Amino acid sequence: MESGFASGRILIKDIGHLVGFGAKAPGKLSGADMRQLPVIQDGWLALEDGRVIDGGAMADFPGIADWNGLEVLEAAGRCVLPAWVDSHTHLVHAAAREGEFVDRIRGLSYQEIAAKGGGILNSAKALRAMSEDDLFAVSLERMERLMRMGTGAIEIKSGYGLDLESELKMLRVARRLGALDRIPVKTTFLGCHAVPEGWDGPAAYTNYMVKEVLPAVVNEDLADHVDIFCEDGYFGLDETRTLLEAAQLRGLPAKVHVNQFKASGGVALCVEYGAMSVDHLEVLRAEDVAELATGDTIPVALPLCSLFLDLPFTQGRTLVDAGCALAIATDFNPGSAPSGNMHLAAALGSVRMGLEPIEALAAATTNGAAALGIETEVGGLGVGQEASLMVTRPLGTVDEALYAFGDPIAERVLLRGHWVD
């Protein structure tokens, strides 16, 4: 697959519904504004050197003045959607954990599997044994698969290393994926994902992560954010505060796993520290919603995890009605969501979280970009944004894109001006 921004010009004409175009990026859309993600019926879009340069309604199409080197695509009524922005993944991991999947089918819970040394610790064992180059190769294959499905920007977490060398190895692999320059890749240091064997509880381990590993991560500029699994049986409010304080001193924003199984005040703590996002929120109390409605912290729902682990779906409708800028991501990881399918995640936003299709699209594109601080670059097709988009199969309306929840919708994917094979 090609890297960097393509040189050349592309014109897409006769687009049935053009989503996300405007004079500027749609940016972060909160509450009722999520329905304002722009849609132009019967539109056109002009791209140059991997970026959007113009567009509008066919009724106002100015014609083609310069045919030189221009690729013209007749969309013949197909929709053009911004590429997905997946703001929460654990894409860098060594191997699948389908054995645990079968254990769950036979009756064990996710937590019971973890207590037996499975789960995150199982992934850590495999990852520590793998060379950086092999880890890069398997991760690249996954990233390319996601790109073929229309994902145009991703976040990647560490958290299966759980010691200095292995956490750095994961983050170096994530940075190498970003350095390929195919799509924007943001990285997150998740050293506090589980307490590995040999440690006397989460407090001592968190101190080690904060004192020894975080400085090394910062030193090599390996992470854009920090994260911690704030959850009963993993890390508590004290450890979360310790990490968020240390990260704040180093200028690193936080994106935190919180309220997956229980709600215990993690949301309020994250809002207090100005976290960029709080992710999961399968369990949500009225006071958590009130906290999120007041701050800038973006709630990120991970409906593929709810589907796969049979957890409650995040109350998307409630969060949007409270005025939040809800985002949707995949959580792609070998334990709780072995899928990077953003179309399915977005569709579940409508099927199970009460979002109207246009709101679910906003959550999976421009608000996902906002959850990574890259909403001027990706997540929409405003003038100046990256030319990263999907040309769908023939669809009657934008709503149909999410109604068709299990079937692929992207006939062609363009990332930074390159057509993806």
Tell me if 319 sits within 8 A of 363, measured CB to CB: no
Minimum CB separation from ligand NIG for residue 95, in Å? 11
Minimum CB separation from ligand NIG for residue 257, in Å? 5
Q: At what angle do helices 164-179 and 132-148 cross, to 10 degrees?
A: 40
Q: With respect to ligand NIG, which residue has the nearer C-beta, 37 or 230?
A: 230
**H helix runs in 225-340, sequence order:** 237-249, 266-272, 286-294, 303-309, 316-321
Among 100, 167, 288, 331, binds Fe ion (CB under 5 A): 331
Minimum CB separation from ligand NIG for residue 84, in Å? 18
Residue carrying the six token digits 């950086």: 132
Does 48 help bind Fe ion (rule: CB under 5 A)? no
Tell me if 299 sits within 8 A of 326, measured CB to CB: yes
Residue 335, contacted partner among ligand NIG, Fe ion, none, CB below 5-8 A by kind? ligand NIG
Residue 366, contacted partner among ligand NIG, Fe ion, none, CB below 5-8 A by kind? none
Q: With respect to Fe ion, which residue has the nearer C-beta, 231 or 331?
A: 331
Q: With respect to ligand NIG, which residue has the nearer C-beta, 20 or 266?
A: 266
Does 282 help bind Fe ion (rule: CB under 5 A)? no
Q: With respect to ligand NIG, which residue has the nearer C-beta, 335 or 368?
A: 335
Tell me if 395 sits within 8 A of 404, measured CB to CB: yes
Residues lying near ligand NIG in the complex (CB under 6 A): 119-120, 123, 229, 257, 260, 305, 331, 333-336
CA 156, CA 178: separation in Å to the nearest integer?
A: 10
Minimum CB separation from Fe ion for residue 181, in Å? 25
Residue 273, contacted partner among Fe ion, ligand NIG, none, CB below 5-8 A by kind? none
- Residue partners of 214: CB distance under 8 A and separation at least 6: 189, 191, 226, 243, 246, 247, 250
Minimum CB separation from Fe ion for residue 50, in Å? 30
**AA identity, residue 161:** G
Bridge pairing between strands 84-86 and 70-74: unpaired
Under the rule (CB under 5 A), what is the footprint of Fe ion?
331
